[in-house]
Structure 1
């Protein structure tokens, strides 16, 4: 992989040319992406909305949310554009038959935003990961964030499942605190001189996006660093915007790579390449949204200021490469 030799602009141009399907009247609804965000409980309804909304504004055809029963009316009230399903339950497993039926239609999953740490909610997530691994051979990419990462950190059986997924189909997006939890798992076994993120990505057979002043994206022996300017203020929900943008880019990439929407994909790129380009692009979109929101609002900046700019920023970044057919 030659990505590390490419400039920021070259990486974005490559992502636009290789990962993003064109707009065309020949395609029907759903071909350019069906994403489901899994999370949202009574106490945390904003996170799944921001993730799903970012995904929709990036251009995903259909965006769903599976959440806890009490959270569904609240999330529905935020936007009529999202399809919200109240199938999760606190205290016990949710309506798994309904969940699995919906998952059959999905191209990418985001697990964790607003999930909480209730045993029933976490148990449902474990069942979902197991279902994707066993019934779909791990081909449906899963972005794990927030309490989805908490589950990874504290449940060895979940980590055992993650390593069985094909390379590039599991994406972890930890912030500083979440990354430290992961680091503690492997502190005594990380070889001297090796990047912690690189080791974790290799150990869990995943792509790891270490968020921070710079975003470091690790996978096997590969690393990309996104140094784009972001915001001097951090707001809750920035990570949710990233997870949604990442999911949309992965759905676009599946349309090209897995479903061959535009014919045979580039033979010089494998799925891991598409996954890395997707993560880098989503990181860029999120950081630029934060930059613009902070420039406009300064200390008054809120998550909505960042999240609502996703579509605008996407268009600005890729205006040069638009290829409608």
Structure 2
């Protein structure tokens, strides 16, 4: 159904079916949800901030960041609006997993990867987090995976096997072109397929190959954002105008907007905070609409920031516009 809808129709459907209303009878978390960003190390503190700030500006009620100890005070200094937890550890130290799991037990959606880095101890903690969500939360908490979270997927066959066990569409991957190819190569190796075959050199077939094999929604970032749906032969392509300049951190804004939309969708689809109107949507459709909405908001933020700043545009210029663009599109 979604493949037949126009851009305006997709946005209208997302507004109607994925975004809960603001009602005086709702308690904290019911209308805006709870999202946790997992990432942030000594070298990379901006990425988790931009992802979490985008989530908060989208209207998330409670936005958390779980990061490495040395990154926490830096991220806290950026804003008092985020709840920052220094529970991750690097250099072979053990993360505070009991505290992490206690926090994750209350989350509606997770974003894994912004500023994570590639320290083996950090990656091992993320692997344990994914396993926890799969086993203790039955895989029902949607997870957006980006950046070095995608690196982990490409390097660890056990993680790839975990992702396949999640309910369809509860995992969202947001690779750029390099990460896209790296994951495809890893899956091809698992299946003993020639990664340089004609089939896997075709971008669309490669996208469906990743999405179907990992049972995930795949958002391929690029000049146009292409969203692949597991076990479906269609794609959603977002061709809305963005900017002529790419800045580091734009992908982090995207993960934050998608993470918040997925949290909204959990409220509407899983928790049914309001009575559904019309024929119920499947979870996969909610996830696809969430991703399409996130790419739309990020592209419009980028367009507006570039129109004002041109070559001087920085990540904060587009990131700070998320709330205004959300209101423009959905309110």
Q: Choose 262-271 or 37-46, whichever is displaced more.
A: 262-271
Q: State the shift of 1:188 in Å.
A: 2.1
Q: State the shift of 1:70 in Å.
A: 0.4
* Structure 2 length-normalised TM: 0.94
Q: Tell me, in whole angstroms, the C-alpha distance in 1 between the residues paired with 2:93 and 2:212.
A: 33
Describe the superposition over 1:232-275 as per-residue Cα deviations: whole angstroms up to 9, x where unpaired: 00000000000000000000000000011003475441100000
- SS of aligned partner of 2:70: coil
Q: Tell me, in whole angstroms, the C-alpha distance in 2 between the residues paired with 1:108 and 1:183.
A: 25
Q: State the shift of 1:143 in Å.
A: 0.3
* Matching of residues 101-140 of structure 1 within 5 Å: 101-140=102-141
* Matching of residues 125-204 of structure 1 within 5 Å: 125-185=126-186, 186=188, 188=194, 192=199, 195-204=205-214
Q: State the shift of 1:159 in Å.
A: 0.2
Q: How many residues align?
A: 318
Q: State the shift of 1:292 in Å.
A: 0.5
Hey, what does 1:315 align to over in structure 2? 327
Hey, what does 1:323 align to over in structure 2? none
The unaligned stretches of length 5 or more in structure 1 are: 320-325
Hey, what does 1:59 align to over in structure 2? 59
Hey, what does 1:322 align to over in structure 2? none
| Contact 1:55/1:244 (<8 A) preserved | yes
Q: State the shift of 1:179 in Å.
A: 1.2
| Contact 1:93/1:123 (<8 A) preserved | no
- SS of aligned partner of 1:159: helix
| Contact 1:209/1:218 (<8 A) preserved | yes
| Contact 2:34/2:108 (<8 A) preserved | yes
Describe the superposition over 1:115-152 as per-residue Cα deviations: whole angstroms up to 9, x where unpaired: 00001100100000000000111000000000000000
Hey, what does 1:296 align to over in structure 2? 308
| Contact 1:16/1:318 (<8 A) preserved | yes
Describe the superposition over 1:152-207 as per-residue Cα deviations: whole angstroms up to 9, x where unpaired: 00000000000000011000000122112123222726773662111110011100
- Cα distance 1:237–1:264, how it changes in 2: closer, same or farther (>3 A)? same
Q: Choose 179-188 or 37-46, whichever is displaced more.
A: 179-188
Hey, what does 1:82 align to over in structure 2? 82
* Matching of residues 278-297 of structure 1 within 5 Å: 278-297=290-309
Q: Is 1:214 the equivalent of 2:224? A: yes
Q: State the shift of 1:28 in Å.
A: 1.0
The unaligned stretches of length 5 or more in structure 2 are: none
Hey, what does 1:70 align to over in structure 2? 70
| Contact 2:17/2:276 (<8 A) preserved | no
Hey, what does 1:94 align to over in structure 2? 95
Pick aligned residue for 2:237 from 222, 225, 234:
225
Q: Tell me, in whole angstroms, the C-alpha distance in 1 between the residues paired with 2:194 and 2:308.
A: 45
Q: Tell me, in whole angstroms, the C-alpha distance in 2 between the residues paired with 1:144 and 1:266.
A: 31
| Contact 1:257/1:265 (<8 A) preserved | no
Describe the superposition over 1:209-239 as per-residue Cα deviations: whole angstroms up to 9, x where unpaired: 0000000000121310000011100000000
Q: Is 1:28 the equivalent of 2:27? A: yes
| Contact 1:18/1:266 (<8 A) preserved | no
- SS of aligned partner of 2:118: coil
Q: Tell me, in whole angstroms, the C-alpha distance in 1 between the residues paired with 2:239 and 2:9.
A: 14
- SS of aligned partner of 1:71: helix
| Contact 1:37/1:110 (<8 A) preserved | yes
| Contact 1:246/1:282 (<8 A) preserved | yes
Hey, what does 2:14 align to over in structure 1? 15
| Contact 1:92/1:123 (<8 A) preserved | no
